[in-house]
């Protein structure tokens, strides 16, 4: 149900909404509106046991904490991308069946939006089983985004059992105090822990794509870059938590498991021969994969150079001097 008016809903009658004060029935129709409110059927994507609604208006809720202008997009924007979404979910089924099985039980709503500079993809603990993803995008990259955002919801669910981090002098949930290898701004310790948790399954996805080898050349180049880059970022994240975090008993159990998984990711990258000299790839706004070049250079930038540049510009408190020194040696 979309619109800017207010209605009181009494129930459902024959697939239509019963609206009260005064009582009337509101059915799905492009030209049916009552008090500025109308019903529109959102697209439904089905892949085997997974059924997902593409429903941006569901995110039009106060208190979520991000701009909601994109929820005003015509529902046709969702409809145009149903095949892309189905293909992405099918890729999750193919390359990460364990996550696909969780999709069937817990994923309910995806909202698609165009890329903008304010945010790209987003999930929130207030809406479990729902997230926002930007398009246009390559289907493999969209599959990885689905895996990433879904695992945020999984970790929010685990956290219902209790906090991971002990309270201390800093705000571990909201305080933006520490370097993170994934974003330009400083992040809270809780955010770094979440990043490690969600980038591990996306690493496994790209590893499976690379091992399979049947994707297009650009996709395989991108996969190789992700397989090379992500374990180094994960190790920096682990080191940051070890340096600065105080864990609860539950948090210690989660952290120890994450640390084992990061070590396994490092071994997997080595076994695939994915090194930091792999060329960095990025998506243009039209969804095309392109190699990254730094200003004036004709040689493609490597993922190692991207990581070093990020450390130099974003680690403003010089928390990761040791990791930077190791990286400099590896690149020379």
Task: Write down the pLDDT at residue 33.
Answer: 59
Which residue would you say has higher pLDDT here, 35 or 251?
251
Q: What is the mean pLDDT of residues 111-139?
A: 81
Segment 141-159, tens digit of pLDDT: 999 999 999 999 999 999 9
Of 43, 48, 201, nearest in space to 112 by CA = 43
- The percent of residues above 90 in pLDDT, for the chain, comes to 65
| Domain segments of the chain as ranges | 1-41, 42-160, 167-332
- Of 186 and 116, the structure prediction assigns the larger pLDDT to 186
Whether omega before 222 lies within 30 degrees of 0, making that bond cis, reads no
- In this prediction the pTM is 0.89
Averaged pLDDT for residues 252-262: 97
For range 195-204, the mean pLDDT: 98
Spell out the SS3 assignment of the chain: CEECCCCEEEEEECCEEEEECCCEEECECCCCCECCEEECCCCEEEECCEEEEECHHHHCCCCCCCCCHHHHCCCHHHHHCHHHHHHHHHHHHHHCHHHHHHHHHHCCEEEEEECCCCCCCEECCCCCCEEEEEECCCHHHHHHHHHHHHHHHHHHHHHCCCCCECCCCCCCCCCCCECCCCCCCCECHHHHHHHHHHHHHHHHHHHHHHHHCCCCHHHHHHHHHHHHHHHHHHHHHHHHHHHHCCECHHHHHHHHHHHHHHHHHHHHHHHCCCCCCCECEEECCCCCEEECCCCCCCCCCEHHHHHHHHHHHHCCCCCCHHHHHHHHHHHC
Bigger pLDDT: 203 vs 122: 203
Cα distances from 30 to residues 3, 43, 205, 245, in angstroms, run: 12, 14, 40, 53
Q: What is the per-residue pLDDT across 302-315, written as a single tens digit (0 to 9) for each?
A: 999 999 999 999 99
- pLDDT-derived band at 38 (thresholds 50, 70, 90) equals low
- Predicted confidence at residue 118, as pLDDT, reads 58
Cα–Cα nearest to 175, from 322, 313, 317, 68: 317
pLDDT at 28: 62
Q: What is the mean pLDDT of the chain?
A: 88
């Amino acid at each position: 149900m979309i619109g800017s008016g207010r209605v009181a809903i009494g129930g459902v009658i024959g697939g239509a909404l019963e609206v009260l004060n005064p009582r009337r029935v509101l059915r799905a129709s492009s030209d049916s509106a009552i008090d500025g409110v109308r019903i529109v059927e959102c697209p439904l994507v089905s892949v085997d046991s997974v059924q997902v609604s593409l429903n941006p208006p569901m995110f039009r809720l106060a208190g979520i904490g991000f701009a909601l202008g994109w929820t005003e997009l015509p529902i046709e924007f969702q409809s145009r991308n149903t095949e892309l979404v189905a293909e992405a979910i099918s890729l999750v089924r193919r390359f990460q069946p364990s996550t696909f099985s969780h999709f069937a039980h817990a994923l309910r709503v995806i909202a698609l939006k165009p890329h903008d500079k304010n945010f790209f993809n987003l999930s929130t603990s207030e809406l479990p089983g729902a997230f926002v993803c930007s398009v246009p995008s390559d289907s493999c990259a969209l599959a990885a985004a689905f895996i990433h955002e879904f695992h945020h919801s999984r970790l929010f669910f685990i956290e219902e059992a209790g906090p991971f981090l002990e309270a201390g002098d800093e705000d571990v949930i909201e305080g933006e105090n520490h370097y993170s290898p994934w974003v330009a701004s400083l992040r809270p310790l809780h955010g770094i822990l979440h990043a490690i948790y969600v980038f591990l399954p996306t690493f496994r996805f790209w590893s499976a794509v690379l091992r399979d080898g049947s994707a297009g050349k650009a996709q395989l180049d991108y996969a190789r870059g992700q397989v090379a880059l992500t374990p180094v970022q994960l190790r920096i994240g682990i080191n940051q938590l070890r340096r600065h975090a105080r864990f609860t008993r539950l948090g210690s159990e989660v952290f120890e498991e994450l640390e084992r998984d990061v070590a396994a990711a490092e071994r997997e990258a080595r076994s695939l021969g994915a090194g930091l000299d792999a060329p960095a790839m990025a998506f243009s706004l039209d969804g095309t994969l392109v190699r990254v070049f730094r200003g004036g250079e004709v040689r493609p930038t490597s993922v190692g150079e991207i990581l070093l540049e990020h450390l130099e510009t974003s680690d403003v408190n010089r928390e990761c001097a040791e990791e930077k020194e190791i990286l400099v040696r590896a690149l020379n």
